[in-house]
Amino acid sequence: MCDKMATLAWNIRILRTKRYLLVTECINVGASSRNYLKSFTVSSREIPESNSSSLDAEEKSLIDSLRNVSRMSSNHLKQYHRQPPELPYKDIIHRKKLYALYGSASGEDARILWPSRKQLIDKELEEKEEGCSLFDRLAQIEVEKQERETALKERHKSVEKNMAQMSKWIEGYKKKQEVSANEAKARAAKKEALLEEARDYFGYKIMANDPKFEQMMLEKEEKEKKEAKKMRKEAKLKKQADRLVDSKEKPVESKNT
């Protein structure tokens, strides 16, 4: 092995020196380089031929390693040549990714790409439980559409019904407004009359918010109250008296009859 490596390294060194010589000579000679090129082609053909016959896998790999001047790490070099890297630890995610990127060369079983049977059946069950059939969902949409339409129809119906009564309601409203306006007018007239009375009493143009006028109004109110009370009392007495009269008259009448 050692001998072989030594010979190989020697051969490669020869090749390199030859190439170097050739390049230098080409530069030196210039136009007449064809002969040297010829000599190079001959020599370069000779050396690989002599090697390739005796090359085995080990030597090839050795040559490759010597040729590799990229200074990449072995894993990076492998990935560069589309070969799977050697990972110290691979979980299922790594293995899936390796298969996806490097295919069967990754050495993984393709079956790992799908979920396991248990996962699949669980998923299916979950979908069955969560899901609702398309037919039911379309029916639900139809029901909702119908509901919206009926609600709109009902609304239109109620609007039409109300519109039929509209003229009547407007008349009623106008009447109501008239009544309230009349009432306000009457109240204002009454107040004006009172003010006029007060002006006659005090002898000057008294305002409605004058304390004297207010006092007068209060007194008048009290007076009216008292009068009303008196009237009620009188009415009550009169009623009693009438009753007495009736009770006296009735027996007489009964005797008479």
Partner 1 sequence: MASKVTEKALNLIKSLPRVAISNVKDLPGTLYKKKTNRSAGRKKKGRGDKGQGARGTLDPLGYEGGQRPLIDAVPSEKYYGKYAIRRQYPPISLLEIQRLIDLNRVDVTRPIDVSSICNTRLYSLDVAKNHFGFNVTEEGCDLFASKVNLEVQWVTELVIAAIEKNGGTITTRYYDPQCLAALFDTQAFFEKGQPIPKCKLPPQDALAYYSDPNFRGYLADPEKILMAREKLAQKYGYKLPDLTDDPLKDLLLMRKDPLQIFYGLEPGWIVNLADKCILKPKDEDYLRYYSNVY
- Position 231, amino acid: M
- Position 237, amino acid: L
For partner 1, give the closer residue by CB, 40 or 108.
108
- The tokens for 172 are 């009623």
- The tokens for 229 are 């009370």
Distance, CA of 147 to CA of 153 (rounded, Å): 10
The CA distances from residue 185 to 176, 177, 198, 236, in Å, are 14, 12, 20, 36
| 25, 36 Cβ separation under 8 angstroms | yes
CB of 181 to partner 1, least distance (A): 41
CB of 114 to partner 1, least distance (A): 6
| 85, 78 Cβ separation under 8 angstroms | yes
Among 13, 60, 97, 190, binds partner 1 (CB under 8 A): 97
Among 6, 46, 103, 155, binds partner 1 (CB under 8 A): 103
Angle of helix 166-202 relative to helix 211-256, nearest 10 degrees, comes to 110
Piece of 34-42, 107-115, 220-228, 238-246 that binds partner 1 (CB under 8 A):
107-115
| 141, 149 Cβ separation under 8 angstroms | no
For partner 1, give the closer residue by CB, 114 or 201.
114
Among 59, 62, 102, 210, binds partner 1 (CB under 8 A): 102
Piece of 56-64, 134-142, 151-159, 238-246 that binds partner 1 (CB under 8 A):
134-142
137 part of the interface to partner 1, by CB under 8 A: yes
The label of the residue with tokens 């009454």 reads 190
| 36, 20 Cβ separation under 8 angstroms | no
Piece of 49-57, 104-112, 178-186, 226-234 that binds partner 1 (CB under 8 A):
104-112
101 part of the interface to partner 1, by CB under 8 A: yes
The binding site for partner 1 (CB under 8 A) comprises 82, 88-90, 96-97, 99-105, 110, 113-114, 117, 120-121, 123-124, 127-128, 130-131, 133-134, 137-138, 140-141
